Amino acid sequence: MRTPLIIGNWKMHATISEARALATGVRDGAKRLGDVEVVLCPPFTALAAVSEVLAGGPVGLGAQNCHYESSGAHTGEISPTMLVDLGVRTVLLGHSERRRDQGETDDLINRKVRAGLAHGVTPVLCVGETDEERRQGLTFTTVEGQLRAGLAGVPAEAVAGIVLAYEPVWAIGTGVNATPIQAVEVHGYLRGLLSELASKEIAQGVRILYGGSVKPDNTDALIAQAEIDGALVGGASLNAQSFVAIVEHAARASGGLKGD
């Protein structure tokens, strides 16, 4: 059994005071977590404040990106060592917005994945096809390329330390989520590839999240699928009530909220 994981990706939203309020809302609302892991990924500027709010509780702290070196002459970058120092244990890597806006390549993302693993920060490797790639029947080719390149040089046993997120680009921020059937076929394909790259046993333990317009009202249908191990939530994570509602749906699906 893989523990469901719900991650909130706040993207470039929330000042420090807004972040404190949002994190407090999630912390207090998600007290009855049940068997679900929850991680918040605020912007870098709010990591320290959110770290304080979440300290000692079950909600984890994640970052939205990191550099692949521990330190060095890289103006404007943040290293995994700095993230660990702030209490960060999870990092989103290869998000399609960074692939598109910052021109992040598979090779760069691979370096970051290996750096995360080396520093004990769980990489959440994001893969997904564009609208055009899906129309051209290139969905599997695209995600396979991103997965193989993203995990290049990662030893089989280290693959157990990653999380995968399937995020079809056409579903991100559009309000059009992938159907459970569409998500499941890609998740199954990715798990097959993980078996090949690591082992069947390791692949069975890796969580594969779905991301793209996840909201409280579509969580049940997605999470009900055995192949969908949680969600990477953007827009709906900016409101504590809707994010907590998503967590509660996942908790129910995994065996009940505490106190039910």
- Pick the closest to residue 82 from 97, 92, 67, 94 (CA basis): 67
Residue selected from 60, 212, 216, 230 as contacting ligand PGA according to rule CB under 6 A: 212
The active-site residue out of 37, 67, 95, 248 is 95
We find the least distance from the C-beta atom of residue 213 to ligand PGA, in angstroms, to be 4
The distance of Cα 199 from the centroid of its chain, to the nearest Å, equals 22
211 binds ligand PGA (CB under 6 A): yes
Q: Which range of residues in 83-91, 136-144, 190-198, 210-218 is near ligand PGA by CB under 6 A?
A: 210-218
For residue 167, indicate whether it is catalytic: yes
233 binds ligand PGA (CB under 6 A): yes
90 binds ligand PGA (CB under 6 A): no
Which residue lies nearer to ligand PGA by CB, 117 or 214? 214
Considering only residues 106 through 125, tell me which ones interact with ligand PGA, judged by CB under 6 A. none
Considering only residues 44 through 83, tell me which ones interact with ligand PGA, judged by CB under 6 A. none
The active-site residue out of 97, 129, 133, 167 is 167
Which residue lies nearer to ligand PGA by CB, 13 or 20? 13
We find the least distance from the C-beta atom of residue 157 to ligand PGA, in angstroms, to be 28
Q: Is 1 exposed, middle or buried (0-12, 13-18, 19+ CB in 10 A)?
A: exposed
Q: Which range of residues in 45-53, 129-137, 195-203, 205-213 is near ligand PGA by CB under 6 A?
A: 205-213
For residue 95, indicate whether it is catalytic: yes
Considering only residues 135 through 174, tell me which ones interact with ligand PGA, judged by CB under 6 A. 167, 172-173
Residue selected from 143, 159, 235, 257 as contacting ligand PGA according to rule CB under 6 A: 235
Which residue lies nearer to ligand PGA by CB, 116 or 212? 212
Binding site for ligand PGA (CB under 6 A): 9, 167, 172-173, 211-214, 232-236
Q: Which residues are catalytic?
A: 95, 167
